């Protein structure tokens, strides 16, 4: 695990040493702020709890999109520039490479997500929302981020270029995002399966409204685990090619 | 140090390397010589435990690479054809990261980095960001990352690729300085490079070893004991007459004669050069230059690869 942390530390440093990290974080915070102003503050009177729920709804979208862009470079860029050889020729397990990269992206996403806390803080000061609501919303955002980052790591491990990585992971994320639409046109048991897979429709609204259900937490953790597991298998398979 | 038996690697239907067999002793500097696409990089990647072979047995320091690749990787330093450098890091930080990645304890990593930088003459760029380095320095930092954990085996894939003549000389000196402390396996398609740096050559063509041995062994196998080039300020006939008096010198030919200066090619082992010098000088012939036959290894290589190609056609 110490090797995974060593890789994570280098990767995290890489985000802050290059402009990429600052550009992604800046854009996400800007879009969060603009959309909050455009769609929430100008929507007329509403309860502060609804304002907060809408903020988490907007942040869900920006978190998912940011995760795809943050993760696309993780393995694909190293493969493109040839630096992956440094890791694959060292006494490092493939799972340590994948977990290290995932942890760095997760830490960066967490810093970026928590940097938007000034918006809910304003709602907290000027309205009537609980700390619990705030904490549940942010937990939801971090779990969604974790799941989409893991999908992104899988896409990045699969692709030869960063653009392909973004396309692969984008397609998977959109597929699970709209899975609930398929549940409307299918019968059981597929109907329930598609609904259970839905990245947003089934699992995120409770977090938006300040509720934490074990079922939703488990869902995001399982998606993270499965995607990382698949990424590790891809890395191992690449050694045969 | 390395034992390779029946090593085969297929990419789909294509055999990148086929039934390779060779062994390398501890402390040797071995040159892997072959044209582009001959299978050098694939073979080196397998030895570096980056790729898995389709078939065959490879042991490094007595350890099977398929059974315990981790233990093998601890004993190996690998420089691919493009140095794996993180442009956003400084040289010092990068080498420390590489050292810790290869299991050097954090408390000893700084010392290991200093030693690697001294061996590769990169100490002066310790605090410089990698993106700002010249190509020569990038290549040397690449070598430094390969040896920072003091591996028993160093695998260098085309270490002089893209370097200018001065940088090539520096890199050659760096590699020669590693002799003895590490077993070095390097690849190149620059023949003079290989002959000047390595103890032994493995010539690979179309994924198969077509010859192995020292330059002299290979030359002898192909019906010659090497050549010596001599430039003298004297008539060629007189110089040839004197040169032939040296035991071991065979056929002599005139490559060029112009304005009283003759360039001769003498068939004979390059080790005979001191004797040739003495004979010429003692007979009053002004010697302008003497060297091993520059085109010799080139012709050995071309003959070996052509022979292989002919076999393939038949």
**Could you identify the residue written with the tokens 């800007």?**
A30
| Residue of higher predicted confidence among A166 and B225 | A166
Q: Do A93 and B100 touch (CB under 8 A)?
A: no
Provide residues of A within 8 Å CB-CB of chain B.
Answer: 3, 6-7, 10, 13-14, 17-18, 81-93, 239-241
**Could you identify the residue written with the tokens 């520096």?**
B170
pLDDT in tens, A145-193: 999 999 999 999 999 999 999 999 999 999 999 888 888 888 888 888 8
Q: Stretch B181-201: mean pLDDT, rounded?
A: 81
Stated pTM of the model:
0.82
pLDDT in tens, B253-311: 888 888 889 998 888 887 889 999 999 999 999 999 998 765 555 666 666 666 555 55
Q: Are B34 and B194 in contact (CB under 8 A)?
A: no
Q: How many angstroms separate the CA atoms of B88 and A240, rounded?
A: 30
Residues whose CB is less than 8 angstroms from the CB of residue A13 and which lie 6 or more positions away in sequence, other chains included: B88, B89
Q: Do A85 and B74 touch (CB under 8 A)?
A: no
Phi, psi at A163, each rounded to 5°: -65, -45
Q: How many angstroms separate the CA atoms of B4 and A240, rounded?
A: 18
Domain parsing of chain A, residue ranges: 2-238
pLDDT in tens, B32-90: 888 777 788 899 999 888 888 899 999 998 898 888 888 899 999 999 989 999 999 99
Q: How many angstroms separate the CA atoms of A230 and A234, rounded?
A: 6
What DSSP assignment string belongs to A68-135? HHHHTTTTHHHHHHTTHHHHHTSS--HHHHHHHHHHHHHHHHHHHHHGGGHHHHHHHHHS---HHHHH
- Distance from A239 to chain B by nearest Cα, in Å? 5
Q: How many angstroms separate the CA atoms of B39 and B206, rounded?
A: 7
ipTM of the complex model: 0.87
Q: Are B160 and B166 in contact (CB under 8 A)?
A: no
Domains and CATH numbers, chain B: 2-219 (3.40.50.300), 227-292 (3.30.70.980)
Cβ neighbours of A14 in B, within 8 Å: 86, 88
Could you tell me the two tokens for A57?
A: 């709804």
B131 touching chain A per CB within 8 A: no
HSE-up of B40 (CA within 13 Å, CB side)? Answer: 25
């Amino acid at each position: 695990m110490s090797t995974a942390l060593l890789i994570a530390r280098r990767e995290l440093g890489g985000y802050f040493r290059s402009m990429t990290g600052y550009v992604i974080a800046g854009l996400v915070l800007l879009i969060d702020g603009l959309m909050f102003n455009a769609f929430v503050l100008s929507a007329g009177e509403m309860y502060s709890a609804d304002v907060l729920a809408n903020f988490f709804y907007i942040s869900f979208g920006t978190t998912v999109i940011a995760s795809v862009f943050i993760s696309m470079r993780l393995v694909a860029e190293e493969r493109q520039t040839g630096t992956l050889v440094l890791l694959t020729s060292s006494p490092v397990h493939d799972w340590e490479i994948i977990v290290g990269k995932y942890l760095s992206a997760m830490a960066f996403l967490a810093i970026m997500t928590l940097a938007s806390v000034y918006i809910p803080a304003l709602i907290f000061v000027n309205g009537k929302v609980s700390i619990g609501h705030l904490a549940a919303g942010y937990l939801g955002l971090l779990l969604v981020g974790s799941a989409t980052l893991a999908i992104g790591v899988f896409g990045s491990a699969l692709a030869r270029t960063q653009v392909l990585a973004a396309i692969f992971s984008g397609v998977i994320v959109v597929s699970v995002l709209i899975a609930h639409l398929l549940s409307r046109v299918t019968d059981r048991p597929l109907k329930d399966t598609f609904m259970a897979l839905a990245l947003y429709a089934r699992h995120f609204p409770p977090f938006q409204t300040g509720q934490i259900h074990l079922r939703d937490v488990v869902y995001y953790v399982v998606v993270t685990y499965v995607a990382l597991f698949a990424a590790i298998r891809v890395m191992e398979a690449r050694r045969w090619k | 140090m390395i034992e390779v038996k029946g090593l085969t690697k297929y990419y789909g239907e294509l055999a990148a390397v086929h039934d390779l067999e060779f062994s390398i002793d501890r402390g040797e500097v071995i040159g892997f010589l072959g044209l582009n696409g001959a299978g050098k990089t694939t073979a080196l990647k397998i030895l570096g435990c980056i790729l898995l072979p389709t078939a065959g047995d490879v042991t490094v320091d007595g350890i099977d690479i398929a059974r315990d690749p981790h233990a093998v990787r601890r004993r190996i330093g690998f420089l691919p054809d493009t140095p794996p450098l993180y442009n956003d890091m400084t040289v010092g930080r990068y080498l420390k990261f590489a050292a810790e990645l290869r299991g050097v304890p954090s408390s000893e990593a700084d010392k290991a980095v200093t030693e690697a930088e001294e061996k590769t003459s990169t100490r002066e760029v310790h605090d410089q960001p990698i993106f700002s380095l010249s190509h020569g320095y990038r290549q040397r930092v690449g070598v430094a990352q390969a040896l920072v954990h003091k591996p028993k085996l160093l695998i260098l894939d085309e270490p002089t690729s893209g370097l200018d003549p001065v940088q090539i000389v520096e890199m050659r000196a760096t590699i020669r300085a590693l002799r003895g402390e590490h077993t070095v396996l390097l690849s190149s398609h620059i023949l003079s490079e290989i002959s000047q740096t390595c103890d032994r050559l493995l010539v690979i063509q179309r994924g198969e070893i077509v010859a192995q041995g020292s330059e002299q062994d290979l030359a002898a196998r192909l019906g010659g004991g090497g050549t010596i080039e001599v430039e003298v300020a004297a008539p060629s006939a007189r110089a040839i007459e004197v040169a032939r008096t040296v035991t071991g010198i065979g056929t002599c030919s005139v490559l060029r004669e112009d304005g009283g200066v003759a360039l001769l090619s003498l068939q004979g082992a390059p080790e005979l050069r001191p004797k040739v010098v003495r004979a010429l000088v003692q007979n009053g012939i002004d010697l302008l230059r003497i060297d091993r036959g520059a085109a010799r290894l080139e012709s050995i290589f071309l003959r070996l690869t052509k022979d292989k190609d002919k076999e393939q056609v038949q």
